[in-house]
Amino acid sequence: MEKKIKFGLYGYGKVAQLHAKALAASRNAELVSVCGRNSDKAKAFASSWGLEARASAQEMADRDHVQAVIVTTPHPMHAEHALECVRADLHVLVEKPMALRVADADSMISEAGSRKVLLGVISQRRWYPSAIRIKRAIDEGALGVPLLGQVTILGWRDEAYYDSDPWRGTWRNEGGGVIVNQAPHQFDLLSWFMGPVSGVSGSWINANHPYIEVDDSAVAMVHFKNGGLGSIFVSNSQKPGIYAKVYVHGSSGASAGVQTDGGAMFIAGRSGIAEPPFNDLWTIPGEEKLLAAWKKEDEEFFARIDATWYFFALQIDDFARSIATGGKPMVTGEDGREAVKIIEGIYRSAETQRSIFY
């Protein structure tokens, strides 16, 4: 690309700092401004990165000629702020989850389409080498039809984590718990591997976090349009954090899996990535012995990068390239909508005691 795409940030919190680092390293994008509700915080963030602080997405577009915005505000605001950017004729990358309701995701997709701007959802784990191997194996037919999927998260969040930001742990300001905050990355990988979601049944509890209103654990079953099924077992109630895994089992009898997170789970602004992700299950005939070599390769690769922001940079580069060429980004709004189906489906199913079908 001859000229970098100009980006703005909507939001100035912990994850925005990581996006700023990613944009600073990007080959195809540059960060020029930031906006948010609190002008003092926006100005402080802007000062630390040598940016302009603006009052709105429209002002970033008018005064800084921003072409794209990354929305990093708390979950319940994602849809509202993304739509504000779209209506300013800006391309939008919105942090996960893109929305809390499928109806809001649909509005975002429809508005972006009518305005002819790109809409993407931050799903940087798709760029993990271990995740790419699974997707490639599925696309090449090595698993047959992916018919059984599994997501398991056994993590932990302590009281200090919920106290670190005033919006955490409440229905109004966070929109939920592990289901909306920690699990969407794995939900995204599950639907990337298995295909579109057609139904969800599930429930949630708060196992050992009396100081928050929202879920810390959930169990669900997912129906996929290809006839497959998925099981979800996610929790933030295991000290100090064990692992997060996504597995796929195909009609051929072969299986593939990735441990996306190991040990204490990553917390933006508070911790690093404890263990590199790696393939921990692979039974494709003739390839079973590749696991050890892949794990060594991935460990060496992760030792050379800062994984807290590196994969954000890869997704931002992909999105900026798509803007410049008029192409389709690797993660679209339609892709993000699949994770929203799972999120909304679990909460609605728990509330109604019925399966939710789309």
The answer as to whether 219 is a domain residue is: yes
Beta-bridge partner residues of 243:
154, 262
Q: Answer yes or no: do 252 and 322 share one domain.
A: no
Q: Answer yes or no: do 299 and 186 share one domain.
A: yes
End-to-end Cα separation, the chain, in angstroms: 40
Q: 327: how many CB neighbours lie within 10 A of its CB?
A: 11
| pLDDT at residue 275, rounded to an integer | 86
| pLDDT at residue 268, rounded to an integer | 53
Q: Answer yes or no: do 151 and 33 share one domain.
A: no
Q: Answer yes or no: do 56 and 159 share one domain.
A: no
| pLDDT at residue 2, rounded to an integer | 72
Pick the closest to residue 72 from 23, 120, 12, 20 (CA basis): 12
Domain that holds residue 65: 5-124+311-331
d(CA 344, CA 62): 36
The answer as to whether 358 is a domain residue is: no
d(CA 293, CA 134): 16
| pLDDT at residue 272, rounded to an integer | 57
The answer as to whether 357 is a domain residue is: no
Blockwise average pLDDT, block size 10, the chain, 358 residues? 92 96 96 96 97 97 98 97 98 98 98 98 98 98 98 95 91 97 97 98 98 97 98 96 97 98 64 81 96 96 95 98 97 98 98 98
Q: Answer yes or no: do 301 and 317 share one domain.
A: no
Q: How many domains does one find in the chain?
A: 2
Q: Answer yes or no: do 105 and 190 share one domain.
A: no
| Helix or strand holding residue 137 (H, E) | helix 129-139
Q: Answer yes or no: do 245 and 317 share one domain.
A: no
Q: At what angle do helices 102-115 and 78-87 cross, to 10 degrees?
A: 10
Q: Answer yes or no: do 94 and 132 share one domain.
A: no
| pLDDT at residue 142, rounded to an integer | 98
Give the CATH number, domain containing residue 283.
3.30.360.10
Q: Answer yes or no: do 119 and 248 share one domain.
A: no
Q: Answer yes or no: do 207 and 147 share one domain.
A: yes
| pLDDT at residue 273, rounded to an integer | 66
